[in-house]
């Protein structure tokens, strides 16, 4: 037991030393080969078979409270290691498949609109409440005030997300949504979007439900349908962990006004 503890402490010391040495360094760009590797193998090529598995847990920090529109948009190439990018926003699209390292830690390959790729490490995200228990491919995320950091000795660096409220699932009508990722517009009424969202909510597909209710709110004219959409979207966002956005929708549904990010 004493030998195991000594080995763990030694690994921890080396990890801490590496974190300190990398702090502030610019993140290196990743090319086509990196994307092919992430697409084929997922965010992690293989899990360590080591007797002792160590994960770097950064010092606790508060979730971002900055409004989305107040943040400056950056790309992956602008990131620096072991740094909280205060005042900035990173827009990414998932691809490939996610890898669960533990019950509280999930990795997923992501890309920005320039084609640069990397991976996100999501902690305490409640993926068990999602239909496939995994982060889907092809969704667009806005990461508020991103933190790029070491996550373990064998896995290396990743964009770490410790607070679910630091992630916003972007609809294509958001100003921050990349134009080259927008899909052809589907013409539907607010009632049709509401019904589609309700079906998704029943299936616990909260990402799709949030999408449908947002689409309905973008075209709604009837006040009763509008309030229903706000209430329903609030519920979907609660399950997604977007508590501030859920609160805004809930408040708006009682006042008859809409709030936009």
CATH number at residue 107: 2.40.50.140
Residue 84 in tokens: 């909280």
- CA separation for the pair 261, 258 (Å, rounded): 10
CB atoms within 10 A of CB 94: 20
The residue from 142, 161, 180 where one domain ends is 180
Q: Kindly report the CATH number assigned to the domain that includes residue 217.
A: 1.25.40.10
**Six token digits for residue 112:** 């920005």
200 and 175: one domain?
no
- Tell me how far apart the terminal alpha carbons of the chain are, to the nearest angstrom: 52
Q: How confident is the model at residue 30 (pLDDT cuts 50, 70, 90)?
A: confident
Predicted TM-score (pTM) of the model is 0.66
Please give the backbone phi and psi of residue 260, each rounded to the nearest 5 degrees, phi first: -115, 145
pLDDT at 210: 92
Residue 54 lies in a domain: no
The domain total for the chain is: 2
User: How high is the pLDDT of residue 50?
Assistant: 47
Specify which residues 84 forms β-bridges with: 147
The tally of CA atoms less than 13 A away on the side-chain side of residue 75 is 12
Q: Are 72 and 87 in contact (CB under 8 A)?
A: yes
- Run of H or E including 161: strand 156-161
Domain boundary residue, one of 180, 204, 224? 180
Mean pLDDT of the chain: 79
207 and 161 within one domain: no
The answer, yes or no, to whether residue 125 has pLDDT greater than 50, is yes
241 lies in the same domain as 175: no
Range of 58-72, 126-140, 147-161, 199-213 with top mean pLDDT:
199-213
- 22 and 146 both lie in a single domain: yes
Considering only CA atoms, give the Rg of the chain: 20
Query: Is the same domain home to 215 and 121?
Result: no
**Residue 6 belongs to a domain:** yes
Same-domain check for residues 199 and 170: no
- Which range marks the domain in which residue 84 is found? 2-45+59-180
Is residue 51 assigned to a domain?
no
Domain end, chosen from 120, 145, 180, is at 180
Considering the domain architecture, whether residues 135 and 199 belong to the same structural domain is answered as no
More confident of the two residues 31 and 73: 73
Report the alpha-carbon distance of residue 96 to residue 28 in Å, rounded. Answer: 21
pLDDT tens digit sequence for 38-74: 887 776 654 444 444 445 555 678 889 999 889 999 9
Q: Is the pLDDT of residue 194 over 90?
A: yes
Least confident of 61-75, 106-120, 124-138, 185-199: 124-138
Residues 6+ apart with CB under 8 A from 100: 106, 127, 134
Q: Does residue 229 contact residue 220 with C-beta atoms inside 8 Å? A: yes
Highest mean pLDDT among 25-34, 91-100, 125-134, 197-206: 197-206
Per DSSP, the three-state class of 228 is helix
Would strands 88-94 and 72-74 be described as parallel, antiparallel, or unpaired? parallel
């Amino acid at each position: 037991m004493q030998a195991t503890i000594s080995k763990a402490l030694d690994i921890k010391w080396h990890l801490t030393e590496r974190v300190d040495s990398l702090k502030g360094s610019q993140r290196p760009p990743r090319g086509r080969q990196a994307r092919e590797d992430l697409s084929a193998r997922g965010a992690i090529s293989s899990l360590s078979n080591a007797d002792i598995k160590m994960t770097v847990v950064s010092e606790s920090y508060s979730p971002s409270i900055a409004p989305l529109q107040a943040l400056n948009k950056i790309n992956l190439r602008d990131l620096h290691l072991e740094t909280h990018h205060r005042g900035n926003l990173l827009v990414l699209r998932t691809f490939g498949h996610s890898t669960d390292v533990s019950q509280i830690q999930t990795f997923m390959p992501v890309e920005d609109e320039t084609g640069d790729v990397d991976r996100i490490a999501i902690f305490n995200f409640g993926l068990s409440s999602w239909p496939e228990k995994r982060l889907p491919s092809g969704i667009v995320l806005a990461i508020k005030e991103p933190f790029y950091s070491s996550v373990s000795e064998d896995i290396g660096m990743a964009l770490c997300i410790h607070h679910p409220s630091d992630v916003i699932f972007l609809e294509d009508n958001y100003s921050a949504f990349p134009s080259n990722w927008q899909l052809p517009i589907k013409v539907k009424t607010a009632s049709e979007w509401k019904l589609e969202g309700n079906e998704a909510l029943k299936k616990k597909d909260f990402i799709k439900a949030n999408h449908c209710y947002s689409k309905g709110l973008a075209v709604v004219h009837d006040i009763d349908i509008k309030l229903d959409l706000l209430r329903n979207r609030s519920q979907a966002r609660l399950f997604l962990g977007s508590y501030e956005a859920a609160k805004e929708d809930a408040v708006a549904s009682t006042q008859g006004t809409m709030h936009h990010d």
